[in-house]
Amino acid sequence: MDESAIKAFIEETFTWLHSHPELSYEEHETTAQLKKILSKEQIRLLELPLATGAVAEIGDGSKPVIALRADIDALPIEEDMGLSYASRFKGKMHACGHDFHTAAVLGAALLLKEKASSLPGRVRIVFQPAEEAPGGAQKVLETGVLDEAQAIFAIHTSPLLPVGSLGLSPGPVMAAVDSFILRFQGKGCHAAHPDRGVDIIPLIAHFISMAQTIVSRNSNPFAANLLSITRVEAGNTWNVLPETAELDGTARSLTLEDRLLIKDRLYALARGAADAFGASVAIDWHQGPPPTINDAFWTEFVLDTAGKQGFILQEAPKSLGGEDFSYYQEKLPGVFASIGTGLSAPNHSPEFRADPAALLPAAKFLAAIAEGALRKLAT
């Protein structure tokens, strides 16, 4: 396929993907469609134990190996955009632009396929399932398909950046995302006789205020950290002091040190508060993805490539949201770049839209990264 044929093909594929959104781990039609396209284009599909998602390979048997990663899942959101290629599946929508990532990475694969015989190594094209649910990146990593890879690259749609621009910085760009549940246990009693129980309500009121001092008092004021209590549940009527209270929340940080600091302080404050009030507390801490940290060496290379491709370069739009690309970056150096897909409502909104005009430039950019990275590693 020549460039104009690839442009038309990936735009068509993008609209197909957009109209067929599938939730995490349910991406069966998407996977079948991708495999059909890759086979038809004679791009080598790797045999892997993945129920959804796929990995293809371009280039010959020699080293080095690098990887491009797209995520393929959609969100449980009802689309509200009136697009001609709107979601056909009620309550499901590609509201994070994973349809764009998939079509752009597919375009890069088609471009690389044209020059496969001259590539000084192999490019692994990763179509990862379930970025929006826990475990998607780990499923790919567990297959060992990236064991030999020396670098990995991904783009993400940004509705804050116009088409033709790229947001990229070295270092942390997205947060470690942890969540927790606290179960405080007091002693219930008649609301008129608090002296006969251990009242849990003032305890959690104090605790919620105390928890906010972790970010304001314990962490470095120049660091971006966050702690939110997101659910509080206690009691069921007006004349009884409840026995228990349950709190949910989330902690976000950009470094592993801050991640540990927040966890340690939260445990200390919860236990200290429970102790002070004569109650007890059980804590469940769920560790989510680590921070997304862009490798300095490869970030410079990607910025240089983007400049040569005519992108307007901007600082990465930093977010305390999470991204499971960070699991790959724990194993090998990686770069996660925000690509301008035109100003729109935010990701995960029913009115999010990625402009298809950004697709071909994204595909060419990813192909140039893959080829350039192999050349850099081969010399």
- Residue 298 beta carbon to Ni ion: minimum distance, rounded to whole angstroms: 21
Q: Measured from the CB of residue 373, what is the shortest distance to Ni ion in angstroms? A: 23
64 DSSP assignment: P
Per-position x/- string for 217-236, each x denoting binding to Ni ion as judged by CB under 5 A, each - no binding: --------------------
Region of 61-69, 89-97, 328-336, 338-346 interacting with Ni ion (CB under 5 A): 89-97
Q: Which stretch binds Ni ion (CB under 5 A): 95-103, 253-261, 283-291, 292-300?
A: 95-103
Other CB atoms within 10 A of residue 366 CB: 32
Closer to Ni ion at the Cβ: 98 or 122? Answer: 98
Distance between CA atoms of residues 112 and 367, nearest Å: 6
What separation in angstroms does the CA of 247 have from each of 178, 203, 212, 280, 312? 14, 12, 14, 14, 45
Which of residues 10 and 354 has its CB atom nearest to Ni ion in the complex? 354
From the list 190, 175, 277, 274, the residue with the least C-alpha distance to 227 is 175
Q: Look at the chain and count its residues.
A: 379
∠ Cα 53 104 34 (to 5°): 35
Which two three-digit tokens encode residue 247? Answer: 């709190």
Least Å from the CB of residue 336 to Ni ion: 10
CA 289 to chain centre: 8
Q: Per CB under 5 A, does 93 bind Ni ion?
A: no
For residue 154, give the nearest of 332, 14, 27, 28 by alpha carbon.
Answer: 332
Tokens at 294, concatenated: 């862009």
Closest to Ni ion by CB, 96 vs 360, is 96
Site string for Ni ion, 263-282 (x = CB under 5 A): --------------------
> Looking at beta carbons only, is 155 or 215 nearer to Ni ion?
155
In angstroms, what is the minimal distance from the CB of 98 to Ni ion?
6
Region from 55-63, 93-101, 168-176, 335-343 binding Ni ion, contact rule CB under 5 A: 93-101
Of the candidate spans 85-93, 94-102, 167-175, 284-292, the one that interacts with Ni ion by CB under 5 A turns out to be 94-102
The residue (of 94 and 259) whose beta carbon lies closer to Ni ion is 94
Choice from 38, 96, 109, 266 touching Ni ion (CB under 5 A): 96
Cβ atoms of 340 and 164 within 8 Å: the answer is yes
Q: Which stretches of 309-378 are DSSP H helices? A: 325-331, 359-378
Helices (H), the chain: 3-19, 28-40, 98-114, 136-142, 200-213, 256-276, 296-308, 325-331, 359-378
Per-residue x/- marks for Ni ion, 37-76, CB under 5 A?
----------------------------------------
Query: Which positions lie near Ni ion, rule CB under 5 A?
Result: 96
